[in-house]
Amino acid sequence: MATGKTITERDGIRTITTHYIDGAFVESHGREVMDIIKPTNGKVIARVTLGDEEDTRRAIAAAKRAFVTFGRTTKEERSRYLRQLHQAVSARIDDLTAAMVEEYGGVVRFARLIVQSGIDAFPAAEKGLDELPLTRSWGKTTVTLEPVGVAGLITAWNANALFISLKLASAVGAGCTVVIKPSELSSLQTQVMLECLDAAKLPQGVCNIVIGRGNVVGAELVRNPDVAKISFTGSVAVGQSIMRDGAATMKRVTLELGGKSPTILLDDAALEQAIPSALVLAFMNSGQACAAGTRLLVPKSRLDEVKRAIRDEMRAFTVGDPADPKTAVGPMVSQNQYERVQSYIRKGIEEGAEVLVGGEGHPPGFALGHFSRVLTDFREAYPRIEFVVTVNDRVIDPVQEGFDLALQIYPAASKPPASRCMTSSISQSAK
């Protein structure tokens, strides 16, 4: 049943019971209800009814019907739709930012950047579409780029508006129709995005969104033969299962999987510039980002001065209310995430890691919610940063195993994470 309302509210708790299917807000067929918990105080702020396989199949069917026409659109038509999306999402930047701060606990100064980056995806896709030739010929060969069909877009919880916008912009530019499964932890943020999509007035069925669990909605997208493409952002384990299960219907699969990256400080780096930059990289998005530089590898000759610099600089990284522009680190997204962080802090301490700043438990003044003390020298979960004494769960003796060996600890059979180098010499970083 279609409805014009996306959220109702009673006694301070908002209720979400709809998905966006075939150009309308539709009551959920699935009946499971999940609480949305505010990470700053642990209180219920909303309840969302999660979609099931039937909701997902309805969305896929709508996207399949729409593709018959949308797949034949011209560059000019797709560009117009991308401009409509850009206008609609741009108009709600304040609402999207506020929802990310409230529901996810993202600090406002970073949350707005995340939302703006998502908004920027639409003109970027339009530019790419304009510059990309859809037909190329050489000799007797002609290659034409055509949309693959219905795309299933599965996004993570740590940058909801950004992930939806990036994937949707690419799909629309390519001429694909979509079914999006955002994280159920981002339901309030998703509702704002749904209203943006409705305001953009895309053709009916081009963009459909079903809120639900990965092992229900996501699994149906992966196994359904009417879905030609899966784009997934999330964990390695889930990515492996998508690759495996998608093979049964020969799906094209694109995976953006979680991983943590080191920042490499070379022996000629200026610490007064390098350390603040390294900490910003480590604690971006409260450390809940695959791009966060959560390990800092330093030459053994500079270890002591690096430790002193970190202790001094951490005074600027305040934990607090994410709505306060002065706050650098907010709460973890959920109680499970908080407990995971705490377990790894304990593990590091038990294994002998030296605590530079912070430790176990809540920071002073923040007993409620999912706030964590921000820094030790060993963390295995968000937020995490390691300083040479530990690398990839392995204790490194700075006297016995210097900088060069630390760079070689990744087995050749595994994929090393991306890294950043900090040095005063471009030629030095090239080495």
- What are the pLDDT digits (tens) for 21-47? 999 999 999 999 999 999 999 999 999
- Closest Cα partner for 177 from 63, 20, 19? 63
Contacts 24+ apart (CB under 8 A), 301-305: 301/267, 302/265, 302/267, 302/271, 303/387, 303/388, 303/398, 305/271
How many domains is the chain partitioned into structurally?
2
Say yes or no: 288 and 231 in one domain.
no
Judged by phi (left if over 0) then psi (alpha if -120 to 50, else beta), residue 27 lies in beta
Domain limit, last residue, from 187, 222, 257: 257
Q: How many CB atoms lie within 10 A of CB 122?
A: 27
Say yes or no: 131 and 195 in one domain.
yes
CA distances from 64 to 145, 181, 227, 235, 248 (A): 19, 16, 8, 28, 19
Give pTM, 2 decimals. Answer: 0.85
Say yes or no: 155 and 181 in one domain.
yes
3-state secondary structure at position 282: helix
Structure tokens at 9: 């509210």
Say yes or no: 382 and 334 in one domain.
yes
Say yes or no: 118 and 197 in one domain.
yes
Domain limit, last residue, from 257, 291, 318: 257
Say yes or no: 180 and 31 in one domain.
yes
Q: How many CB atoms lie within 10 A of CB 400?
A: 8
Say yes or no: 280 and 221 in one domain.
no
**pLDDT score of 37:** 96
Contact partners, residue 400, CB within 8 Å, separation at least 6: none
**pLDDT score of 2:** 52
Q: For residue 375, what is the domain's CATH number?
A: 3.40.309.10
Name the residues annotated as catalytic.
256, 290
- pLDDT tops 90 at residue 88: yes
C-alpha–C-alpha distance, residues 200 and 150, integer Å: 20
- pLDDT tops 50 at residue 379: no
Report the DSSP beta bridge partners of residue 2. Answer: 26
- pLDDT tops 90 at residue 176: yes
- pLDDT tops 70 at residue 227: yes
Residue bearing the bigger pLDDT, 327 or 419 = 327
Domain range holding 416?
262-430
Say yes or no: 367 and 348 in one domain.
yes
* pLDDT interval class at 351 (50, 70, 90): confident
* Cβ 55 vs Cβ 87: under 8 Å: no
Say yes or no: 315 and 218 in one domain.
no
- pLDDT tops 80 at residue 422: no
End-to-end CA distance of the chain: 62
Say yes or no: 176 and 202 in one domain.
yes
**pLDDT score of 404:** 24
**pLDDT score of 270:** 92
* Cβ 67 vs Cβ 177: under 8 Å: yes
- Closest Cα partner for 275 from 319, 306, 304? 306
Check residue 218 and report its DSSP letter: I
What's the whole-number average pLDDT of the chain?
A: 85
* pLDDT interval class at 118 (50, 70, 90): very high
Judged by average pLDDT, the poorest of 93-102, 114-123, 258-267 is 258-267
Say yes or no: 280 and 369 in one domain.
yes
Using a 10 angstrom Cβ sphere, with 0-12 exposed, 13-18 middle and 19 or more buried, the burial of residue 203 is: middle
Q: For residue 216, what is the domain's CATH number?
A: 3.40.605.10
Task: Give the neighbor-by-neighbor strand order of the sheet with 13-16.
Answer: 8-10, 13-16, 44-49, 33-37
**pLDDT score of 421:** 55
Residue bearing the bigger pLDDT, 297 or 153 = 153
Judged by average pLDDT, the poorest of 94-98, 204-208, 209-213, 278-282 is 278-282
Buried/exposed code over 403-430 (b: 16+ C-beta within 10 A; e: otherwise): beebeeeeeeeeeeeeebbbbeeeeeee
**pLDDT score of 95:** 97
Domain limit, last residue, from 233, 257, 281: 257
Using a 10 angstrom Cβ sphere, with 0-12 exposed, 13-18 middle and 19 or more buried, the burial of residue 94 is: exposed
Structure tokens at 240: 């492996």
**pLDDT score of 249:** 96
Say yes or no: 330 and 356 in one domain.
yes
